[in-house]
Amino acid sequence: MERHSQLSIPDILDKLAHILTHKQSGTFYIATNANTSCRFAIESGKITHCTHKRDHGIAALLSLQETGGGSCSFSENQAIPFRTEAAVDHQASLDLLGLHPEIPPRQLQEPNTPATASTPASASAKPAPVRYYRGQMAAQADTPSTQEAGKQTPPPATEPPKTKRFYRGG
């Protein structure tokens, strides 16, 4: 079984800041070295709830800072119910954790070129969100919208049907 590298709390919080910067929604998980877990509910780049051990809300944020590190993952668009006492103010959470999500720089827009038959799919392509699994950036497969329009993957070869074999009278 592959061992995943452990991250320090500042590294984990940097990954959380990256998710907040890109205005993603979902649940951010942290498994600490002390064998505890922490969950953050994130809606459109805003922290709404937090739990750590048996603590909720601001108390959970304070107890998380006392841990030494661990691993993290992010489940995009996954909404897990939290107790009402786990609700936190977004700005207070950022201040307490020392997070400063940066606004991503606007990508330079290319001048409008006349549409050709080979570019309509790539012109409307939306960048895929960044996903993390156990603190590591997860590999993402190429989708047809990100492949060049002129290149098509051949359909998978079909295998001839295999004969069914019966053993021991079955």
Residue 64 CB-density burial (10 A; 0-12 exposed, 13-18 middle, 19+ buried): buried
Give residue 130's pLDDT: 72
Q: How far apart are CA 20 and CA 61, in angstroms?
A: 16
pLDDT, mean of each 10-residue run, the chain (170 residues) = 67 89 91 90 92 91 87 88 90 86 57 50 62 67 50 61 62
Global confidence as pTM: 0.57
Residue 106, pLDDT score: 56
Per the structure block, which two tokens stand in for 78?
Answer: 């996954």
